[in-house]
Amino acid sequence: MASTIFLALFSQSIYAADTPAEADTATAQPGQTAQKSQEMETIEVVGIRSSLNKAVNIKRQSVQVVDAIVAEDIGKFPDNNLVEALQRVTGVQVTDRASGEVSGVSIRGLTDVTTTVNGREMFTAAGRSLAVQDIPAALLEGVDVYKTRDASQIASGIAGQLNVRTQRPFNFEGSKFMINARGVYQDLADKTDPIVSALASNRWNTSIGEVGALLNLSYARTQFRNQNASAGAVIPFRADNLARIYDYPMGLEHGMDRNPGATLNGVEYYLGRDALNQSDSTGKRERPAVNLSLQWAPNDTSEYLFETFYNGYRNESHNHMILTYADSNRVATEVQPTFFDGTNVIKTRAWGDSGTFTSGDYGEQQTDSYMFALGGKWELSADATLKSEIVYQTSEYKTDGVAMQAKRRMPYVYADFNHDDGVMAWTPYLSENGPEMDLTDPTGWNTSTFFDNGGKDKGDAITFTTDLDFYLDWGILTKAKVGIRYDKRTAESSSRDISRDPGTPTPLLDLDPSMLELNSDFFDGRSDLPRSWVTINGESLWNNRATYRDLYGFTADADGLRRLSLQKNFEIDQTSWAAYIQSEFDTELFGKRLDGSLGVRYSYASADMDFWHWDNGLQHSDGTNTSAKFLPNLTLRYHLTEDLVTRLAYTETLRRPAFGDLNSFISLHPDTTNVGYGNANGGNSSLRPVESKNYDFSLEYYFGSGSSVYGTYFYRDIQGFVFSSLRRTQFPNPNTGEIEDYILSQPGNTSNGVLKGVELGAVYFLENVPQWLDGFGIQASATFLDSEQDIPVFSDTGELERYDHRGVFGVSDTSYSGVLIYEKEDFSARLSYVWRDNFLLRYGSGRFSHPRGVYRQPEESLDFQLNYNITDNLSVSFDATNLTNQVFNQYYEEEYLNDTASIYSRTFGLGIRYSM
């Protein structure tokens, strides 16, 4: 009973609903301020155990299948961003540690996650989803991870919904002030950066009622370094002279025959790599964020809320790349190739007269997203409450970048394409028997292609919601809610893309020295790869881009000037409506309490679309994309005992197609390398939503103080996955008009899938133990998944030939996390380990002879956090991430067919926090 009262008070004061409806404006009840102030003081206990207790109670009291994370105290999430904070939640998997942070999040293996902030759907620029990593952890009060949905919630997101909760002034007894400052060191970049946040809040009794105001600020800067090494695509070579074979079958699910002695058109062949590529990327990222919340309760029966939220993103990236082609047979060598055991796949090889280029790239990206919400809540009677809200948001993303290549030929190269657990190795020489070549010497290098690209995406939305909650006394029905949602959304995208070769290449030695740059210590000395090479200085190129635009002739003709200007790609206006009705019920079955909810949501959307494309003049097309769907849901919660609960849920969710995928124009890239075909890509204006029918069954046991164990079985039947299929077709060459072959990539609702699995989890703190063990606790979870997806394969004539059966993209069969916790008096510490099995990352292009499936090797991370309270108001913290410091590897179906190896920074943070 005590935990039930605790959660009821907590949920009323924070988000005032047992599920986050789309207009989440309710807060503490007016007229109960004094009573609630005293009770709020009882839940202002801080610490890891307190936060886990709150999360367990949210899970226990919710009718739906939900997990949660809650801040240990105001502004005190011990993570660099929201995604890192989520990695300890059961069923949540994270990946992509590039740029000094974790950025990719999936729920039960699926990446289509809808993110709401205080119940409001938010997005970034012209996309349908929010860049979750842009939300600073310092602004969070908590996050609810909904794995099932009821009718009152937004239907999108077949993986689930993240509802981010920020602070509001009525959450606190009176005034509240907090300031938090951390310094975070990135070891690969060898830089230390600040993360600072501040919160000020107060509430007053005035002549017009109770008034509250809260301002929360955050700023984070990260200077990062990413390093990648890739062995390139797999292609066939003649076994007799190692000459590259250009005419070979493409699009094979498992690639070409890799057995010794395999032949193609009667000729024996080997399989080898076409290139060696290294990328050394550095950058600086900044994220400012502001949250302002104003609340007014003029009387006991009404309350109003104004809220605004801003999050920004600034990024300067600088890439330092080198690529050498591995398909030359122009110089014979006495060094014979070696092979992976039992295959015709080349492991080591030497060749001469190798084409090589380096590239210096520089780019700037910027995002600004604003949200403004005005809402109210009115108690119409003792049994009915009306909530309504209007929300406006706008988000814009801009990018600009330049790059220049430098070329030369290398006399002699020796390479091991998989030298050390997925990491290649290679060395350039001045001759077959000569000394090693100095890649830092600019002698012999000449300027080559200059690239100048940019883009701007923008999205706006105005949303109106109304929700009516009322109590019932109608048989087993106890409470009902109805609501409507209107949303007007616009999205537009523009881009520019121009590149040219110099009329006469310039030796690098003739350039100003400021235009040249050397990197150092590539791959942190953990490989037998070149550790330094000369490139164009991308930042200097950026600062002098006007000069190089003139030098390369971009400003000398109409076509160049046109391509330097942004060209609109699409403009989409989408109007959507939703209405729902839902009822809660409570009864007994076999002498035990059975409660739950039953509802249905109707979702409708119609998009008016305009597309533009330059093809011997500006071409325009338009169209309409409309969809509608009834989405029923039923959730049952059966109380087997006071502490043992089981849930059964049936829900339906959907995902509407990305705006960019609807573009019907086909972009053509003619064959320029004599491979026999060009490349083409386009969208599909007839795409329909992906639909998922979801079944969940859970069993949960709650014991002790905030301790629990639980398990969930789930099944997802997903229809109409959007997959970009490849097929050979013909188009006229845009330059000559001649009919030529192209490999066309075009999305369609051509794939179906099934995802099923089991989640297990536990939270436990030792009780009634010797003093030296008092304070220890564990948080553990494991997820076991089984997935299958149908992937269409087309014949050369464009006919559907067959379906390949693969696991669903991004799904690891097994993942788990374990957290060891110690908390006593003023000291707390947490050591967390997360691991996920290998998974299918993507389907490759099919234009090469390697298998199409690209997999990611198992990933792990070990993180540590420590906190010490110097006084009741002052604390210090230390944290470290990615302590395992592993090499992240991708490969083509078989691990010896390595694709890309990457290393990312470890981070170490030291912070101080003051709160009063």
Supply the pLDDT for residue 30: 33
Whether residue 240 sits in one domain with residue 169: no
Task: Determine the average pLDDT of the residues in 825-830.
Answer: 90
Give the mean pLDDT of the chain: 87
Model pLDDT for residues 518-539, shown as the tens digit of each residue: 999 999 888 899 999 999 999 9
Residue 284 confidence (pLDDT) above 70: yes
Say whether both 224 and 173 belong to one domain. no
Q: Which of residues 178, 210, 232 is at a domain's end? A: 178
Confidence of residue 35 (pLDDT cuts 50, 70, 90): very low
Residues 6+ apart with CB under 8 A from 257: 344
CA distance 453 to 449: 13
Query: 234 and 95, same structural domain?
Result: no
Indicate the pLDDT class of residue 329, thresholds 50, 70 and 90.
Answer: low
Does 33 score more than 60 pLDDT?
no
Residue 184 lies in a domain: no
* pLDDT for residue 12 is more than 60: no
3-state secondary structure of 85: helix
CATH number at residue 630: 2.40.170.20
Q: What is the mean pLDDT of residues 105-109?
A: 82
* pLDDT exceeds 60 at position 36: no
Q: Mapped to the 3 state alphabet, what secondary structure does 773-822 carry? A: CCCEEEEEEEEEEEEEEEEEEECCCCCEEEEEEECCCCCECEEEEEEEEE
Is residue 890 within 8 A of residue 96, CB to CB? The reply is no
341 & 416 share domain: yes
Q: 668 pLDDT band (50/70/90 cuts)?
A: confident
157 shares its domain with 272: no
Residue 754 is predicted with a pLDDT of: 94
Residue 13 scores a pLDDT above 70 = no
What is the model's pLDDT at position 387? 97
The CATH number assigned to the domain holding 32 equals 2.170.130.10
pLDDT reported for residue 559: 85
Res 40: pLDDT: 29
Which pLDDT belongs to residue 722? 87
- pLDDT above 70 (res 80): no
Q: What is the mean pLDDT of residues 40-50?
A: 50
Given this model, what pLDDT does residue 73 score?
58
pLDDT at position 803, please? 83
Average pLDDT over residues 54-83: 75
pTM: 0.87
Same domain, 670 and 723: yes
Same domain, 123 and 244: no
Going by pLDDT thresholds of 50, 70 and 90, the confidence category of residue 109 is confident
- Would residue 852 count as lying in a domain? yes
Q: What would the mean pLDDT of 876-893 be, rounded to a whole number?
A: 92
* Predicted confidence band of residue 280 (pLDDT cuts 50, 70, 90): very high
Contacts of residue 304, Cβ cutoff 8 Å, sequence gap at least 6: 295, 296, 297, 298, 374, 375, 376, 377
Give pLDDT, residue 844: 78
CA nearest to 576, candidates 633, 652, 628: 628
**Coil, helix or strand at residue 850:** coil
Lowest-confidence pick of 27-36, 431-440, 770-779: 27-36
Within a 10 A sphere around the Cβ of 805, how many other Cβ atoms? Answer: 11
**CA contacts within 13 A on the Cβ side of 480:** 11
Same domain assignment for residues 303 and 389: yes
Same domain, residue pair 151 and 252: no
When pLDDT is cut at 50, 70 and 90, the band that residue 131 belongs to is confident
**pLDDT single digits (tens) 791-816:** 887 766 667 778 888 888 888 999 99
- For the chain, give the percent of residues with pLDDT over 90: 60
How do residues 583-641 score in pLDDT, each as one tens digit?
999 999 999 999 999 999 999 999 999 999 877 778 888 999 999 999 999 999 999 99
Domain shared by 169 and 234, yes or no: no
Do 609 and 623 meet the contact criterion of CB atoms below 8 Å apart? yes
State mean pLDDT over 309-330.
90
Instruction: Provide the pLDDT for residue 670.
Output: 78
Residue 214, in any domain of the structure: no
User: Is the model's pLDDT at 666 over the cut of 90?
Assistant: no
pLDDT tens string 158-191: 888 888 888 999 998 899 999 999 999 999 999 9
Better pLDDT: 650 or 672: 650
Tens of pLDDT, residues 440-498: 999 999 999 999 999 999 999 999 999 999 999 899 999 999 999 999 999 999 999 89
Is the per-residue pLDDT at 4 higher than 80? no
Asked if residues 169 and 214 have their Cβ atoms less than 8 Å apart, the reply is yes
Which one has a higher pLDDT value, 478 or 48? 478
Q: What is the mean pLDDT of residues 87-100?
A: 74
The percent of residues in the chain predicted with pLDDT above 70, rounded, is: 91
Domain boundary among 145, 178, 211: 178
pLDDT digits (tens, 9 = 90+) for 852-861: 899 999 999 8
Other CB atoms within a 10 A radius of the CB of residue 779 amount to 23
Asked if residues 244 and 329 have their Cβ atoms less than 8 Å apart, the reply is yes
Q: What is the pLDDT of residues 670-692, one digit of tens each?
A: 776 566 678 788 888 999 999 99
Dist. CA 151–CA 454, nearest whole Å: 41
Domain of residue 74 covers 2-178
Domain contains 724: yes
Is position 475 within any domain? yes
Output the pLDDT for position 723: 83
Euclidean distance between CA atoms 433 and 538, whole angstroms: 35
Clarify whether residues 241 and 144 are in a common domain.
no
For residue 15, the model assigns a pLDDT of: 32
CB atoms within 10 A of CB 194: 13
- Encode 421-448: b = buried (16+ Cβ within 10 Å), e = exposed: ebbbbbebbeeeeeeebebeebeebbbb
Weakest mean pLDDT among 89-103, 370-384, 388-402:
89-103
Q: Is residue 895 domain-resident?
A: yes
The total domain count for the chain is: 2
User: Taking residues 911-915, what's their average pLDDT?
Assistant: 92
Shared domain for 590 and 679, answered yes or no, is yes
pLDDT surpassing 90 at residue 207: yes
CA angle 662, 664, 667 (to 5 degrees): 115
- From the number of C-beta atoms within 10 Å of its C-beta (0-12, 13-18, 19+), residue 741 rates as middle
Which stretch of 323-332, 401-410, 455-464, 835-844 has the lowest confidence by average pLDDT? 323-332
Contacts of 359 (CB under 8 A, 6+ apart): 319, 321, 322, 323, 403, 404, 405, 406, 535, 536
Is there a domain that residue 732 lies in? Answer: yes
Has residue 779 got a pLDDT over 60? Answer: yes
Q: How far apart are CA 123 and CA 461, in angstroms?
A: 9
pLDDT at 37 over 70: no
Secondary element (H or E) of residue 86 = helix 82-86
Mean pLDDT of 823-835: 90
- 122-131, 161-170, 732-741 — most confident range: 161-170
Among 358, 444, 404, CA closest to 547: 404
Residue 185 domain-assigned? Answer: no
Range in 370-379, 511-520, 578-587, 731-740 with the lowest mean pLDDT: 731-740
As a residue count, the chain comes to 916
Among 178, 201, 231, identify where a domain stops: 178
